[in-house]
């Protein structure tokens, strides 16, 4: 198994602009929108798919399964067609499933 360690695709520079100048960046709007339609897990799954595509670890011409979650662990699986960061809007989410955790 290969492990990728890199900067988050949907934070970093965008958050730095917000911290410096106030307001919200375009990248942060994308992240908040993904959270709105899913969960933190959906945002993370999309983000790791983009990061893996940029690193050449997943293809962008077929479906993959991306998994995401939050500090509590992975809770979302997404079938998607990944895209590179510079072609982000070519990413296609085909199916998303969130596991509900009982506490």
Across all residues in the chain, what is the average pLDDT? 88
Is pLDDT of 7 > 90?
no
Task: Check if the beta carbon of residue 57 is closer than 8 Å to that of residue 84.
Answer: no
Task: Check if the beta carbon of residue 26 is closer than 8 Å to that of residue 14.
Answer: yes
CATH architecture of the domain with residue range 13-98: 3-Layer(aba) Sandwich (3.40)
Task: Check if the beta carbon of residue 46 is closer than 8 Å to that of residue 38.
Answer: no
Q: Could you read off the pLDDT of 79-94 as tens digits, one per residue?
A: 999 999 999 999 999 9
Q: What is the mean pLDDT of residues 54-75?
A: 93
The domain locations on the chain are 13-98
- Banded pLDDT at 46 (limits 50, 70, 90): very high
């Amino acid at each position: 198994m290969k492990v990728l360690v890199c900067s988050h695709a949907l934070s970093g520079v965008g958050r730095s602009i917000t911290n410096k100048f106030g307001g919200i960046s375009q990248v942060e709007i994308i992240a908040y929108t993904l959270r709105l339609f899913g969960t933190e897990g959906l945002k993370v799954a999309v983000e790791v798919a983009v990061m893996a595509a940029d690193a050449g670890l997943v293809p962008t011409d077929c479906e993959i399964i991306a998994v995401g979650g939050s500090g509590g662990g992975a809770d979302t699986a997404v079938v998607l067609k990944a895209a590179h960061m510079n072609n982000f809007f070519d990413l296609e989410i085909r199916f998303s499933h969130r596991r509900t955790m009982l506490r």
